[in-house]
């Protein structure tokens, strides 16, 4: 039985069906993500080559999202905060980074006919998306979600209701994607914030992430054993650091590109 086998037995049949439906929706979403990218790739080929690294990154991102929501990690998550935290790192941090580096919007703009591409550009420039993709709002969405998940009763509900589970995990992935794209995105962004704003937001988010991770150590969600909470907290703290420092390095690379000198100050060899 795929997915949330742990729920069978005590839970009524209707609840079991809702978990099965959730699993089916996840599989469908993953197929759309992978299939859609490959389809767009075929249409975009006509307009020049597409870096294989971007395709690889997108596929690995989908793999991470799948590993977090289906299979052994997802099965372990309801009974272990550590399992849940591993899923959280994969779905909320690593998958968004890999998906963003896959440059899906650039690919889509290349694949679509000109009129459709123009329409997409208009949507991307619209006021709501402009607000949503600002680093500050994206970071607030992320940090707010984390705070709500671990400091309230939401964590218990996540494993009791398939609907809440689905909403929380979609939020985790989308908020992570928005923040990563706002900070180090490679897709066109007509209103990209300055490097200074992005660096400040990233550092503030790092701080908040590490504070929440340590709170999980000291004050874990209800029903979680201390030993489990300790491992989970350290996984969140150090795992979060690995991804955050990667983001810092990518931001530094963006800064290097933006401040590239017009001409080399010194010839390479005398």
Residues that bind other proteins (CB under 8 A): 199, 203-204, 206-208, 210-211, 214-215, 218, 241, 244-245, 248-249, 252, 255-256, 259-261, 264-266, 270
| Closer residue to other proteins, CB minimum distance, 17 or 253 | 253
Structure tokens at 238: 């150090």
Cα–Cα separations (whole angstroms), residue 168 to 37, 50, 76, 139: 25, 34, 17, 16
- Let me know: does 229 contact 213? Beta carbons within 8 Å: no
Residue with tokens 């991804």: 243
| Closer residue to other proteins, CB minimum distance, 120 or 204 | 204
What's the closest the beta carbon of residue 40 comes to other proteins, in angstroms?
34
DSSP string, 111-175: HS-HHHHHHHHHHHHSHHHHHHTSHHHHHHHHHHHHHHHHHSTHHHHHTT-HHHHHHHHHHHHHH
Residue 14 CA to residue 11 CA, distance in Å, equals 8
| Closer residue to other proteins, CB minimum distance, 22 or 139 | 139
What's the closest the beta carbon of residue 198 comes to other proteins, in angstroms?
12
232: which residues sit within 8 A by CB, 6+ positions away?
A: 80, 81, 82, 84, 85, 216, 220, 224
Residue 121 CA to residue 47 CA, distance in Å, equals 18
What's the closest the beta carbon of residue 55 comes to other proteins, in angstroms?
28
What's the closest the beta carbon of residue 195 comes to other proteins, in angstroms?
11
What's the closest the beta carbon of residue 257 comes to other proteins, in angstroms?
11
Picking from 75, 182, 71, the residue whose alpha carbon sits closest to that of residue 134 is 182
| Closer residue to other proteins, CB minimum distance, 63 or 248 | 248
| Closer residue to other proteins, CB minimum distance, 32 or 245 | 245
| Closer residue to other proteins, CB minimum distance, 159 or 214 | 214
What's the closest the beta carbon of residue 265 comes to other proteins, in angstroms?
5
């Amino acid at each position: 039985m795929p997915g949330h086998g742990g729920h069978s037995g005590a839970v009524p049949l209707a609840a079991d069906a809702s978990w099965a439906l959730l699993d089916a929706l996840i599989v469908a979403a993953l197929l759309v993500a992978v299939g859609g990218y490959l389809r767009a790739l075929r249409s975009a080929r006509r307009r020049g080559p597409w870096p294989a690294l971007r395709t690889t990154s997108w596929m690995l991102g989908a793999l991470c999202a799948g590993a977090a929501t289906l299979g052994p990690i997802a099965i372990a998550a309801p009974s272990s905060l550590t399992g849940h935290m591993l899923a959280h790192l994969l779905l909320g941090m690593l998958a968004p980074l890999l998906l963003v580096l896959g440059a899906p919007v650039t690919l889509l703009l290349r694949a679509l006919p000109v009129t459709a591409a123009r329409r997409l550009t208009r949507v991307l420039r619209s006021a709501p998306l402009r607000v949503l993709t600002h680093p500050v709002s994206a970071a607030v969405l992320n940090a707010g979600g984390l705070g709500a998940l671990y400091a309230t009763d939401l964590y218990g509900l996540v494993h009791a209701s398939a609907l809440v589970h689905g909403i929380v995990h979609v939020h985790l992935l989308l908020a992570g994607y928005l923040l990563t794209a706002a900070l180090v995105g490679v897709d066109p962004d007509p209103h990209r914030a300055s490097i200074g704003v992005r660096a400040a937001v990233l550092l503030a988010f790092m701080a908040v992430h590490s504070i929440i991770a340590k709170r999980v150590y000291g004050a874990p969600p209800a029903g979680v054993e201390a030993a489990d909470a300790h491992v989970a907290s350290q996984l969140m703290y150090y795992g979060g650091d690995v991804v955050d420092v990667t983001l810092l390095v990518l931001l530094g690379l963006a800064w290097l590109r933006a401040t590239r000198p017009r001409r080399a100050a010194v010839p390479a060899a005398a």
